[in-house]
Amino acid sequence: MSVLVWLKSDLRLQDNPVLREALGSAACLPVYCLDPAEFVPDRHGITACGARRTSFLLESLVDLHASLQQLGSGLLVRIGSAERILPQLCAQLGIDRVVSHAEHAPYEQALLDRVTAALPEGTQVMLRLSNALFALEDLPFTEEKLPQVFTRFRHQVEKYPPAIEALAAPEELPGWPAGASDLVAGVPCISDLGFTPLAQEPRSSLPYSGGETAAKAWLDDYLWHSQAIRHYKSTRNQLHGRYFSSKLSAALAHGCLSPRTVLLALRRHEARFGANESTYWLWFELLWREFFRLSLRLHGKRFFRRGGLHAGSPPTGHDQRFNDWRNAATGQPFIDACMTELNASGFLSNRARQIVASYLVHDLQQDWRLGAAWFQQQLVDYDVASNWGNWAYIAGVGHDPRGGRVFNLAKQVEQHDPEGRYVAIWSR
Ligand SMILES: Cc1cc2nc3c(=O)[nH]c(=O)nc-3n(C[C@H](O)[C@H](O)[C@H](O)COP(=O)(O)OP(=O)(O)OC[C@H]3O[C@@H](n4cnc5c(N)ncnc54)[C@H](O)[C@@H]3O)c2cc1C
């Protein structure tokens, strides 16, 4: 059996069920497709994937390629759409089976369907859920019965905790199929995708670069060396710095770490040093991530509608105020500092995300979906479910039982940046 492993947001060896499916096959070709459509601006001048995330992605691919080479394999990275590239490779190399990550979002599912339909007749497709905390069959409710309020979801999961296990990294992998040796492995540069190479942003709070190796080292630092986790509950709403929150979002979004690997490491930390309210709170936040993923699976395209899950009526349309917001030119120093950080570094603390999102929707009265699209372009840790789910929540058309969150800018600044230190950092 000759297997093509189509990697997407699962760029790691450890706890990767997709890669594990290739073990025991005669040949295996790991492939990643960089779709140029992701880098083309839409009518608002917004691309699906901006330069900072692309840079992190390419670093992750370089790291994965090196790790795969050590196992006797390697990563084939192609620029082009998966629906064109994968069927061609399957036909050219006589691939019997394509293994990939099962999707939970409609756009990604539609692509998967198109790829499947275009594969040569007889090619099997095998899908594995690789970035979820829980297997669907282990949840204490069916997918359709997902509680619509997070607290109820959390209570159910805590009352009937699903099993958490992580797969070991493979120790070796089958080589590439015969005929693949003339294909060139390796990763393109960012300029091949139309971006100007970026310098590191010295003020960035994101403490690591792309790839499983860096992500594992950061997780070790956070849980074991610095033990910053022990104060997470009291620091998580801060705005700037290396250790105020876990910074695991980028590693999770690109699949450099699986959520199960993170949770099991957290449990080991608790077994050694004791659980406290901070270790509990990291689990709590990982549950939010899982909740949004399950919700997106259930609600599909409704997740992206202006009226969201309840056919609500948040502000519609946009004008110059949206451009001012995205260009950090609103004239509100705190909002402009946040947007400067986002645009320069690709990262923003959770509190800053909430404040700028609330400001765009509730103060500037702009369509929340444009804000979500701008975050999608700019965030290194962009995750379809977490991004659109949080934006809808703040706009009052998502899962918030209180019907949306309005953050009073003056109060937030008073509470979180009373001396203007954060604004000073990002106004330079
Ligand atoms: C408007 C808006 C947009 C957002 N867009 C994204 C996004 O695209 N990708 C993303 O990963 N998170 C998003 N978040 C959630 C949250 O802001 C980030 O996960 C967090 O700031 C990342 O930093 P951290 O890893 O240090 O988080 P920590 O506070 O250390 O949390 C640990 C992990 O829990 C998860 N998590 C924490 N808060 C949330 C939350 N509110 N919703 C879902 N998961 C959460 C993340 O995986 C995070 O890495 C968004 C929040 C808002 C308000």
Same-domain pairing of 122 and 147? no
- What does the pLDDT look like over 136-176, one tens digit per residue? 999 999 999 999 999 999 999 999 999 999 999 999 999 99
Total domains in the fold of the chain: 3
Boundary-marking domain end, from 284, 301, 318: 301
State the complex-level ipTM: 0.99
Tell me, using a 6 A CB cutoff, whether residue 56 lines ligand 1.
no
* Contact criterion met (CB below 8 Å) for 212 and 13: yes
Atom index in ligand 1 nearest the CA of residue 381 equals 9
Please give the average per-residue pLDDT across 89-94, as a whole number: 96
Same-domain pairing of 153 and 100? no
Tell me, using a 6 A CB cutoff, whether residue 387 lines ligand 1.
yes
Among residues of the chain, what percentage have pLDDT more than 70? 100
Q: Which residue has the tokens 């942003």?
A: 201
| 307: its two tokens | 């009226």
Same-domain pairing of 153 and 108? no
Tell me, using a 6 A CB cutoff, whether residue 400 lines ligand 1.
no
Tell me, using a 6 A CB cutoff, whether residue 347 lines ligand 1.
no
From CA 416, how far away is CA 419, in angstroms rounded? 9
- What does the pLDDT look like over 39-59, one tens digit per residue? 999 999 999 999 999 999 999
Please give the average per-residue pLDDT across 208-213, as a whole number: 97
- pLDDT score, position 44: 94
Please give the average per-residue pLDDT across 362-373, as a whole number: 97
- What does the pLDDT look like over 293-303, one tens digit per residue? 999 999 999 99
The protein residue with its alpha carbon nearest to ligand 1, atom 30, reads 246
Residue 60 structural domain: 1-130
**Which amino acids are annotated as binding site for FAD, given as ranges?**
232, 245-249, 285-292, 381-383
Same-domain pairing of 120 and 150? no
- What does the pLDDT look like over 217-271, one tens digit per residue? 999 999 999 999 999 999 999 999 999 999 999 999 999 999 999 999 999 999 9
Q: Is residue 178 part of a domain?
A: no
CATH number of the domain at 353, please: 1.10.579.10
Q: Is residue 187 part of a domain?
A: no
From CA 411, how far away is CA 394, in angstroms rounded? 17
First-to-final CA distance of the chain = 58
When pLDDT is cut at 50, 70 and 90, the band that residue 185 belongs to is low
Atom index in ligand 1 nearest the CA of residue 286 equals 34
Atom index in ligand 1 nearest the CA of residue 356 equals 1
Q: Is residue 190 part of a domain?
A: no
Average pLDDT, the chain: 96
User: Best mutation site among 104, 277, 285 for ligand 1, i.e. most ligand atoms within 8 A of its Cβ?
Assistant: 285
